[in-house]
Amino acid sequence: MKWILLILSLPTSNATARMRVWRTIKSSGAAVLRDGVYLLPETEAHQQLLAGIAQDVHLNQGTAQVFITEPEKNLLDAHSQSQDLISLFDRTTDYENVLIDLTQLQQLLSQQQIADSLKQLRKLRKTFASIVAVDFFPNDKQIQLQDALQSLEKTLHRQLFPDEPNTQTGEIKLLSIEDYQQRQWATRKRPWVDRLASAWLIQRFIDKEASFLWLESPADCPPDALGFDFDGARFTHIDNLVSFEVLLASFTLEQPELKRLAAIIHYLDAGGFQPQEASGLEQILWGLRDSINDDDQLLLAATSIFDALFLAFSNKE
């Protein structure tokens, strides 16, 4: 395989530039062969990254060269040489450190608030994502930690929201939006991420004249109301999809912006891969839920947040 090498030198007097270059190299996951010599697997993205660093170094009166190289194919130890270089990028220790923190968090669950535990878990998930981003040669440790994080996420969500619907299995029937107009939609009171996002989706893209009923118990759902996000509801979790995703699939809503939003909702409701916007949205919705007691007003406030996210995603397309 090919490698890309950066060799640089910066004047010691320019501390700001040295720190900026060092932080950029560190965040890239580059291996340090010696002071001023850095190595990455050869990719177009890494070429652009190191070329940008080299340009920055030159602009600050330093010297920098970028080389693309590979072990000589005619050398008997070429394979061994590649393996030695790959070993420089082993992230096993990083994963094990996060796993230690995760184990400690599990042991403290009964001693602290669930919401605080979930916040700490989000930090560990963010750390995990940062390791994955520079894990160019992943091993079983990545999978082990991924599974452990997801397992604890499910445990915390179940404790924090004990009435969350269980996952059903089956096919999602394709429906016509025209058949679902001016209807009453019902879900559990004090809505959280999936319910709030689903209600927003319904009134923005499915039934613009929808009315919402917030149930004390799923058993209180009127027979003529369209229930969502509770066991036995017309629209709820199916297989690996949360209610928001089931609504998207049911009504064939395929806008890229909605798919990006779905990834965030899925993560906040069921765990998995963390989109970069998830943490910010979660904090905003927590603040709204804690400060607004009326569920109609809560949906109204959350609607402006989802509208803004949808518009932001549209502008990025």
Has residue 166 been placed in a domain? no
- Check residue 292 and give its pLDDT: 96
Are residues 181 and 309 both part of a single domain? Answer: yes
Are residues 151 and 189 both part of a single domain? Answer: no
Domain span at residue 143 reads: 92-160
Are residues 310 and 181 both part of a single domain? Answer: yes
Are residues 143 and 245 both part of a single domain? Answer: no
Has residue 13 been placed in a domain? yes
Instruction: Name the E strands within the chain.
Output: 3-9, 31-34, 37-41, 63-69, 184-188, 211-215, 226-227
Average pLDDT over residues 21-27: 94
Q: 122 or 292: whose pLDDT is higher?
A: 292
pLDDT in tens, 168-200: 788 899 999 999 999 999 999 999 999 999 999
Instruction: Please report, rounded to a whole number, the percentage of residues in the chain having pLDDT higher than 70.
Output: 94
Domains: count for the chain: 3
Amino acid letter, residue 103: T
- Check residue 113 and give its pLDDT: 74
Has residue 167 been placed in a domain? no
Instruction: Please report, rounded to a whole number, the percentage of residues in the chain having pLDDT higher than 90.
Output: 67
Has residue 165 been placed in a domain? no
- Check residue 118 and give its pLDDT: 79
- Check residue 77 and give its pLDDT: 60
- Check residue 275 and give its pLDDT: 87
Has residue 168 been placed in a domain? no
Average pLDDT over residues 124-137: 91
Continuous segment of H or E residues that includes residue 20 = helix 15-28
Burial call 42-67: b when 16+ CB within 10 Å, e when fewer: beeebeebbeebbebbeebebebebe
Are residues 145 and 25 both part of a single domain? Answer: no
If pLDDT is split at 50, 70 and 90, which confidence band does 73 have? low
Average pLDDT over residues 102-118: 78
pLDDT in tens, 141-169: 999 998 898 888 778 877 776 677 777 78
Are residues 189 and 251 both part of a single domain? Answer: yes
- Check residue 269 and give its pLDDT: 86
Are residues 142 and 183 both part of a single domain? Answer: no
Are residues 213 and 154 both part of a single domain? Answer: no
pLDDT of 72 > 70? The answer is: no
Q: 101 or 153: whose pLDDT is higher?
A: 101
In this structure, of 166-175, 198-207, 302-311, the range with the lowest mean pLDDT score is: 166-175
Q: Are strands 31-34 and 63-69 parallel, antiparallel or unpaired?
A: unpaired
Name the domain boundary from 87, 110, 144: 87
Are residues 56 and 72 both part of a single domain? Answer: yes
Alpha carbon 226 to its chain centroid, in Å, reads 30
- Check residue 147 and give its pLDDT: 87
If pLDDT is split at 50, 70 and 90, which confidence band does 301 have? very high
Are residues 213 and 292 both part of a single domain? Answer: yes
Does this model's pTM top 0.75? no
Partners of 63 in the β-ladder = 9
Are residues 16 and 128 both part of a single domain? Answer: no
pLDDT of 296 > 90? The answer is: yes
Has residue 169 been placed in a domain? no
Average pLDDT over residues 45-72: 90
Backbone angle region of 252, left / alpha / beta, with phi > 0 → left and psi within -120 to 50 → alpha = left
Mean pLDDT of the chain: 89
- Check residue 112 and give its pLDDT: 61
- Check residue 159 and give its pLDDT: 75
Name the domain boundary from 131, 160, 189: 160
Q: What are phi and psi of 173, to 5 degrees?
A: -80, 130
Name the domain boundary from 34, 65, 87: 87
Find the CATH number of the domain harbouring 70: 3.30.70.240
- Check residue 164 and give its pLDDT: 73
**What whole-number distance in Å separates Cα of residue 167 and Cα of residue 165?**
6
Are residues 231 and 304 both part of a single domain? Answer: yes
